[in-house]
Amino acid sequence: MFVRQNFQNKNLWQESSKEHIAFKPLKTSVTTDIAIIGGGYTGCSAALFAANNGLSVSLIDKKIGYGGSGRNVGLVNAGLWLPPEKVEKILGVDAGSKLNKALAKTPDLVFDLIDKYDIKCSANRSGTLHCAHSQNGLKDIQKRYQQLSSRGAELELLDRQQTNQRIGSLKFFGALFNKSAGTINPLNYCIGLARAAQSKGANIYESTLATKIQSSNNYWLVDTPDGSIKTKKLLIATNAYQQPIKGIKSPEYTGVHYFQVATNPLPEKTSNMILPNGEGCWDTANVMSSFRLDEDNRFIVGGVGNLGHRASKIHTNWAKRKMESLFPQLKNTPIEYSWHGRIAMTGNHIPKIIKLGNNAYSVFGYSGRGIGPGTYFGKAITDCFLNGNEDSLPVTPVNQNKEHFSSIKSKIFELGATSSHLI
Ligand SMILES: Cc1cc2nc3c(=O)[nH]c(=O)nc-3n(C[C@H](O)[C@H](O)[C@H](O)COP(=O)(O)OP(=O)(O)OC[C@H]3O[C@@H](n4cnc5c(N)ncnc54)[C@H](O)[C@@H]3O)c2cc1C
């Protein structure tokens, strides 16, 4: 029977935040070694590594973690969402294996930063499970297991019984377990990176958007409503959330929405039977879904979909049914949180570095896998600014990235997800 829900549109990560810090707006004109537009993982990681290396840094955003970094699932996974062979096929073996290698150890990078700067983001390094939702899904994870293991990843391929025991659900055909991965409160990780960057001397400004960027005499000038930044090095890290900036083209990508809903903390006797080891999970379905518990044993389930349109109840009703089909003991458990975010999907699902001019880059397009990659790309851009060598970047910078029919593709993704969530 359909149970009427009072879904309140609120983001669990904001509501349960344990990192509390606010940054003042920029109200003056400053000169800095590096200006960073956007305070997600990419921008905050770049700010931290730059400040640690003695560069003066000014980072601006409306709010730290306002974009994907404050809205995501919190699965800290290795590599990209694409299997490694596909990455090598798209980029060529040399460039592809360079990117695969760079991103293979990103969970170490993320969890080391969390430890080093005591970031309060409920880090749980119990691994993640890529769950086979069908026989075809099982073939997919078997292929991934072979490809990743042959490149040195330490993974376990779990059979149906092992998977079901580990998850506490009878729904899956097997799973790929990566014990080096884990889960975090994604917003708190981002705020923690900003706090760490500030502690190393970076100037972070909130309530401050870049409105115009121009270059003049080897400098970049960034205008904001009440101030400006003069800089030699510029990083634009706005991913799927860029607010219009005159003088700079917006990143081109296909926007794909992903939403999540969460319960209140479950009683111990219920939560004990769900993911007792605390892994984060996502599945092999074309219209992907994810589920996990948070630190307080709230159950969180997500799927492709936008909660911002009239038919969005289709998504939240599906989430409720999904939760109950995975874990029948959750029947009639009320949903207390619901929120969504926009993913910047590129045509080939590979992140892009656009060279905007001398010492200026725009980085975007993580295609749904940005916690480790964003942290890594932010660090790599800083290394490139320091050593002047673009070879240290994980992908070769290009002058532009064309995404054709992106708004039609966005609508097709949403329509596909909505139709599949009707069933
Ligand atoms: C719902 C969802 C689930 C996801 N799940 C996962 C997951 O489980 N694991 C994973 O690895 N990845 C996941 N991702 C992907 C990941 O969240 C993103 O790739 C990552 O957050 C991108 O970080 P970023 O710093 O590049 O951009 P963002 O975090 O999007 O930051 C961009 C920032 O730029 C700011 N900005 C925009 N315009 C301006 C301007 N003019 N001036 C100043 N600032 C500006 C925005 O306010 C924003 O804060 C998910 C993404 C979404 C949306």
Where does a domain end: 150, 179, 208?
A: 179
Ligand 1 atom nearest to 190, measured from its CA = 29
Q: Do 336 and 49 form a contact (C-beta atoms < 8 A)?
A: no
What number does the ligand 1 atom closest to the CA of 42 have?
25
Is 289 inside any structural domain?
A: yes
Q: Which residue's CA lies nearest to atom 48 of ligand 1?
A: 67
In a domain, 5, yes or no: no
Whether residue 313 lies inside any domain: the answer is yes
Domain of residue 26 covers: 12-127+180-422
The verdict on the CB of residue 241 being under 6 Å from ligand 1 is yes
Best mutation site among 58, 206, 343 for ligand 1 pocket (most ligand atoms within 8 Å of CB): 343
Residue nearest to atom 9 of ligand 1 (CA): 75
The pLDDT score that the predictor gives to residue 3 is 35
Q: Quick one: 209 and 99 in the same domain?
A: yes
Profile the chain (423 residues) by mean pLDDT over runs of 10 residues.
49 92 96 98 98 98 97 97 97 97 97 98 97 97 97 96 96 97 98 98 98 94 98 98 94 96 96 96 96 97 93 94 96 95 96 96 97 98 97 95 92 93 89
Task: With respect to residue 162, please indicate whether it lies within any of the assigned structural domains.
Answer: yes
Shared domain check, 53 and 146: no
Q: How far apart are CA 375 and CA 380, in angstroms?
A: 9
Q: Within 10 Å of residue 397's Cβ, how many Cβ atoms?
A: 16
**147 and 110 housed in the same domain:** no
The per-residue pLDDT for 1 is: 32
Q: How many domains does the chain have?
A: 2
- Residue 317 burial (CB count, 10 A): 17
Both 114 and 216 in a single domain? yes
94 and 190 fall within a common domain: yes
Indicate whether 283 and 250 sit together in one domain: yes
Does 321 lie in the same domain as 271?
yes
Is 3 a member of any domain?
A: no
56 and 141 inside one domain: no
> Do 300 and 382 sit in the same domain of this protein?
yes
- Cβ atoms 374, 291 nearer than 8 A: no
Distance 246 CA to ligand 1 centre (A): 21
Domain presence at residue 6: no
Q: What is the pLDDT of residue 327?
A: 97
Give the pLDDT confidence score for residue 8 in this predicted structure. 52
End residue of a domain, out of 156, 179, 202: 179
CA distance linking residue 384 with residue 49, whole number of Å: 11
> What is the model's pLDDT at position 309?
85
Is residue 317 domain-shared with residue 409, that is, in the same domain?
yes
56 lies in the same domain as 161: no
pTM of the predicted model as reported, rounded to 2 decimal places? 0.96
Kindly state if the Cβ of 73 falls inside 6 Å of ligand 1: yes
CA of 200 to the centre of ligand 1 (A): 23
* 169 plus 285 within the same structural domain: no
CATH number (domain holding residue 24): 3.50.50.60
In this predicted structure, what is the pLDDT of residue 249? 86
Which among 256, 254, 261 is positioned nearest to 313, based on CA atoms?
261
Ligand 1 centroid from CA 155, angstroms: 28
Residues in the chain: 423
Sign of CA pseudo-dihedral 413, 415, 417, 420: negative
Last residue in a domain, options 139, 164, 179 = 179
Site to probe by mutation for ligand 1, drawn from 371, 377, 414 as the one with most ligand atoms within 8 Å of Cβ, is: 371
